[in-house]
Structures are given as structure tokens and as C-alpha cells.
């Protein structure tokens, strides 16, 4: 199964190399950090507006850093700091990146997870989503994102071909089209 | 004359079997879901069972440490429940889907606080250290070697929050674990957060299981469900009953004979859960503040 993941990753990399436009969307993150300190996640997404590669690494149980690259934003560094995590089921994190400062909150109810957040600055927006993961190889999410001018719903499915969540492929739909993503944690 | 001799031989055989086998009592709970109002009664019943000379095993089949339908207890109750289980001397607990709703880090903390093993054989860590539980454990109960193996349902697991765990079919995991750990003389007890119907399927597929203590489906088995030699039991929900299974076991072969199975009703008592008010208030205030931060 891992071979399929690698194959898909290679396909996405090939697509990126052909010069597809950039600005793809990975999906909104939660306020939880699932990577252990030292764990690294790599991913690639492509869609109507381009291709983005991303690397994220857990630094401590509360801090995660990520770097992404696309043709619109050649190098983008972001940090997520978990501010509240022992207030079960609530987690709250602050984010800092080139698009601005943000806050993300998560209510974790097991197979159902509610995330909502806001970013101030260049990439000003508000969003909320529900993530359902009641089957071993599949999870789905849907939500809405609002910028100053547009309110846009989105939905997607993540699949875990290896039967665990370290490697995944995903598809998400927004008004302007379909986005595909693949990624995993090879640590 | 011949008839008398046969009767005498039969009686001697029965006496010999009785002498060779050892009695064992298995007390079991499942799906306690932080129902603190029942634990005092359960504790009393456990103490009464331990008065005699018969060895007693105390097992829990999971969904014990969390229940968001009880918000006052859900925000603090797990630590208290672990302490109670330590105090009354549980021998093992199966991991339940609700127990995983704390998230990986907190579940690890709770498992470390527990003085008994948390068991689950069908969630396999794909990275070292990713599982705060064991597949099985072996213990000695009055000379009987007991192999305890844990299983969990695939329903309603928080898969995305445990990315480094891979789900394996219960029958496959159980067969592998028995082959890996059993020496053929054990009494094999599966402590499973699985409905009775799933346990019946697994018991039909995997030979050699002696007792299957189940959970998740909140069923009561006043008489054990039998699949071949396997006895399948479950004690309902919320600690309303304490299961008590009495068996005779041959310590040499691990073979068992059912003596009796009861569901002993428990009594409700006022439980102090008011301390959850402050913590719940903190959760609500922080969640509302976080929501207002996004909306305003």
C-alpha cells in the first residue's frame, strides 16, 4: 500500500513539475498537534490555482513549524503554538505566518472534530469545519470559509491506503474546482 | 457387583477431576462511562467476592474513562476513575473507543497512571512508542496461568487523532497473539470492547479462546453465550451490574468448566461530581471566547 502512496506522490510531483498554477488548498488544520516532536510530515496538493508543496515538523508537543512553496508564494514559513490543550475536549492554538496571525480552536469528540479559526492580516478570513473519521481508511470534512468578499463552502475526503493515518491522499471540492493532495509522515 | 464397581469408579473419577481442577472467579465490568454513582456498590461486591480462598480476576472491557454525555464528569473524571480502578485492584482493562476520545497524549498519561495493563491487540503501532497499551499480558491466578488479550471495536474510533496506529481485523490479531504468546497451558481470556455478535464471529474463527469478556453494545448475558468451548459474557452498561463468572480450570491444560454466571445488581449512591463545575466552566468560557474571537 505504501508503494501506492509513493506512486501518487511521484504523480503529484510530476504534475507540479509541468508548471501547474499555484495556490492550492490543503485544508484547514486543527488546534491539535498530532506529530510527535521530531516527526515530519510532507505533502503536496494541486488544484485549479496551482500546486503547493509543504513540510511540517513537530518541535515540541506544543509547537509545530511548517514551510510551503508554490509559484504564488515561493517560500512560506508558519508556526503553530498550542495555547490550550488540557481543557478536554477543547484545544486552542495560535498561528503565525506570512498571511498573518491566526487563532484555531478545536473541539475533539473522537470520531467527530469541530474546528474553527480566524486569521488577521494579509490573508484575512474566518472559517469553520467538521471532520468525521469513523472508518479506518476514510475520513471526510466539510465547512465554510469567509473572506471580506466571499463566503465559500468546501468539502473533502481523506483516504488512508495503508490502514493508518501516516500516509494519506485527499480530494477536496470548492467553488472553483477540485483539489488533490497526498502526503505522509516518513519519520 | 459390577454395577457397584462402576458407580464407585465414576465417583472416584469425578472426585479426581475435582481435585485436579482449580476454581477461578472472573469479575467483570464494561462501559462504566464515568458512572461514579455505582462504583461504591461495585467496590463492596468485589470485596465480598475476595473474602474466600478462590482466586479472583477483575477485568473491565473498556469505555470506562470518558463519556461526553456526562459533561461534568467528562472534564475531570478519568483520573478519578483510574485511581478507583487502581484501588480496587483491576487486573486488566480493554481499551474502549470512548477511552481514546481524550486524544493520544492524555490517553498515554492515563495509561501510565493505571497500575494494571491496558490491552488492545488489534491496533498495531506503526512507529515505536505510538501505543500506550499492550496486546496481552499473562498472570498467575492461584496456580492457573491466565493469558489476557485485549481487542477493540472498529466502530467510532477517532482514527485521525491516532495516525500511527493501524487497525487489524480482531480475528487476525487474536490468532497472531495466541500463536505468539500462548504455551498451550493457559486459560485464554479475551477482554474485548466488542459486541457479543462480533465476539461470536471471532470465537468461531479463532479456536482456543476460553472466556470472552465483551463490551460496547451494552448487552447483558445472564447465561454465557457459548461458541464451542468459548464462554462469552457482558455485564450491561454503566455499572448497573457486576458480572461474576465462576469456572473450574485444569491448571495443567487450561481447560475450563463453567460453574456459574451471575449479573449481580449494584446500587446507586450519591456521587461527588460537583468539582467538575469549575473545570466545565473553564471549558465553556474558553470555547465561547474562542468562538467570539472568530465571529466578531
Predicted confidence band at B287 (pLDDT cuts at 50, 70, 90)? confident
B189-211 average pLDDT score: 98
Task: Flag whether A44 is in a domain.
Answer: yes
B110 inside 8 A of chain A by CB: no
pLDDT of residue B129: 82
Q: Give dist(CA B119, CA B122) in Å, integer.
A: 10
The CATH code of the domain that includes A45 is: 2.40.160
pLDDT of residue A16: 36
B183: pLDDT strictly greater than 90: no
The CATH code of the domain that includes B223 is: 3.60.21.10
B16-68 pLDDT per residue, tens:
555 558 999 999 999 999 999 999 999 999 999 999 999 999 999 999 999 99
- Residue for grid cell 470492547: B193
| Domain with A62 in it | 2-178
Q: Give dist(CA A142, CA B145) in Å, integer.
A: 51
Task: Flag whether A101 is in a domain.
Answer: yes
Spatial CA neighbour of B81 closest among B141, A99, B250, B93: B93
- Chain A partners of B104 at a C-beta cutoff of 8 Å? 34
Name the more confident of B83 and A29. Answer: B83
pLDDT of residue B9: 63
Task: Flag whether A127 is in a domain.
Answer: yes
pLDDT of residue B12: 55
Q: Give dist(CA A1, CA A67) in Å, integer.
A: 27
How many structural domains is chain A composed of? 1
DSSP secondary structure string, A90-143?
EEEEEEEETTEEEEEEEEE-SSEEEEEEEEESTT-EEEEEEEEEEETTEEEEEE
B40 inside 8 A of chain A by CB: no
Tell me whether residues B290 and A166 touch, CB distance under 8 A: no
Task: Flag whether B164 is in a domain.
Answer: yes
Using CB atoms, pick whichever of B103, B126, B290 lies closest to residue A92: B290
B101 within 8 A of A109, measured Cβ to Cβ: yes
Task: Flag whether A183 is in a domain.
Answer: no
Spatial CA neighbour of A9 closest among A72, A67, A55: A55
> What string of H, E and C letters represents the secondary structure of B162-182?
CCCEEECCHHHHHHHHHHHHC
- For A126, residues 6+ apart whose C-beta sits below 8 A from its C-beta are A116, A117, A118, A119, A145, A146, B294, B295
Q: Phi then psi for B153, rounded to 5 degrees?
A: -70, 155
Query: What ipTM was estimated for this complex?
Result: 0.82
CA nearest to B74 within chain A: A88
Tell me whether residues B294 and A116 touch, CB distance under 8 A: yes
Mean pLDDT by 10 residues, chain A (187 residues): 46 36 48 88 87 91 91 86 87 90 92 92 89 86 90 91 88 89 85
B220-254 pLDDT per residue, tens:
999 999 999 999 999 999 999 999 999 999 988 88
B155-163 average pLDDT score: 88
CA nearest to B75 within chain A: A88
Tell me whether residues B290 and A103 touch, CB distance under 8 A: yes
Task: Flag whether A185 is in a domain.
Answer: no
- Residue for grid cell 508556526: A79
Tell me whether residues B286 and A108 touch, CB distance under 8 A: no
> What string of H, E and C letters represents the secondary structure of B187-229?
EEEEEEECCHHHHHHHHHHCCCCCEEECCCCCCECCCCEEECC
Measured between alpha carbons, how far apart are the two ends of chain B, in Å?
99
Q: Is the peptide bond before A89 cis (omega within 30 degrees of 0)?
A: yes
Q: What does DSSP assign to residue A161?
A: T
| Domain with B159 in it | 21-289
Under 8 Å CB pairs connecting chains A and B tally to 111
- Chain B partners of A141 at a C-beta cutoff of 8 Å? none
Task: Flag whether A187 is in a domain.
Answer: no
CA nearest to A34 within chain B: B161
A61 inside 8 A of chain B by CB: yes
How many structural domains is chain B composed of? 1
Amino acid at each position: 500500500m505504501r508503494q501506492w502512496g509513493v506512486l501518487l506522490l511521484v504523480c503529484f510531483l510530476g504534475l507540479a513539475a509541468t508548471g501547474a498554477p499555484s495556490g492550492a488548498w490543503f485544508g484547514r488544520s486543527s488546534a491539535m498537534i498530532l506529530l510527535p516532536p521530531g516527526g515530519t510530515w510532507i505533502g503536496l496538493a494541486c488544484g485549479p490555482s496551482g500546486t503547493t508543496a509543504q513540510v511540517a515538523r513537530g518541535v515540541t508537543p506544543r509547537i509545530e513549524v511548517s514551510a510551503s512553496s508554490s509559484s504564488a508564494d515561493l517560500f512560506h514559513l508558519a508556526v503553530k503554538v498550542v495555547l490550550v490543550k488540557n481543557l478536554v475536549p477543547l484545544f486552542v492554538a495560535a498561528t503565525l505566518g506570512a498571511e498573518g496571525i491566526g487563532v484555531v480552536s478545536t473541539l475533539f469528540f473522537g470520531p467527530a472534530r469541530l474546528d474553527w479559526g480566524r486569521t488577521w492580516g494579509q490573508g484575512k478570513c474566518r472559517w469553520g469545519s467538521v471532520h468525521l473519521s469513523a472508518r479506518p481508511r476514510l475520513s471526510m470534512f466539510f465547512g465554510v470559509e469567509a473572506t471580506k468578499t466571499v463566503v465559500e463552502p468546501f468539502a473533502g475526503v481523506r483516504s488512508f491506503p495503508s490502514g493508518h493515518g501516516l500516509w494519506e491522499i485527499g480530494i477536496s471540492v470548492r467553488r472553483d474546482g477540485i483539489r488533490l493532495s497526498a502526503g505522509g509522515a516518513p519519520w | 457387583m459390577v454395577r457397584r464397581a462402576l458407580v464407585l469408579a465414576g465417583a472416584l473419577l469425578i472426585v479426581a477431576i475435582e481435585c485436579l481442577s482449580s476454581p477461578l472467579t472472573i469479575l467483570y465490568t464494561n462501559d462504566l462511562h464515568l458512572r461514579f454513582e455505582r462504583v461504591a456498590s461495585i467496590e463492596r461486591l468485589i470485596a465480598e467476592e475476595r473474602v474466600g480462598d478462590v482466586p479472583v480476576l477483575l477485568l473491565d472491557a473498556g469505555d470506562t474513562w470518558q463519556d461526553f454525555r456526562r459533561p461534568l464528569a467528562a472534564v475531570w473524571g478519568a483520573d478519578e476513575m483510574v485511581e478507583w480502578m487502581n484501588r480496587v485492584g483491576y487486573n486488566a482493562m480493554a481499551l474502549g473507543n470512548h477511552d481514546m476520545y481524550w486524544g493520544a497524549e492524555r490517553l498515554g498519561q492515563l495509561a501510565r497512571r493505571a497500575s494494571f495493563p491496558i490491552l488492545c491487540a488489534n491496533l498495531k503501532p506503526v512507529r515505536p512508542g505510538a501505543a500506550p497499551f499492550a496486546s496481552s499480558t499473562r498472570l498467575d491466578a492461584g496456580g492457573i496461568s491466565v493469558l489476557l488479550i485485549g481487542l477493540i471495536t472498529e466502530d467510532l474510533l477517532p482514527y485521525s487523532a491516532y495516525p500511527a496506529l493501524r487497525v487489524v481485523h480482531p480475528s487476525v490479531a487474536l490468532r497472531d497473539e495466541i500463536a505468539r504468546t500462548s504455551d498451550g497451558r493457559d486459560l485464554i481470556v479475551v477482554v474485548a470492547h466488542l459486541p457479543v455478535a462480533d465476539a461470536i464471529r471471532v470465537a468461531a474463527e479463532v479456536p482456543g479462546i476460553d472466556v470472552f469478556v465483551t463490551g460496547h453494545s451494552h448487552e447483558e448475558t445472564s447465561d454465557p453465550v457459548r461458541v464451542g468451548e468459548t464462554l462469552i459474557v457482558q455485564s450491561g452498561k454503566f455499572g448497573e451490574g457486576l458480572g461474576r463468572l465462576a469456572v473450574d480450570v485444569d491448571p495443567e491444560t487450561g481447560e475450563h468448566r463453567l460453574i456459574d454466571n451471575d449479573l449481580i445488581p449494584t446500587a446507586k449512591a450519591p456521587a461527588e461530581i460537583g468539582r467538575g463545575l469549575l473545570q466545565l466552566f473553564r471549558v465553556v468560557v474558553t470555547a465561547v471566547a474562542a468562538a467570539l474571537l472568530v465571529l466578531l
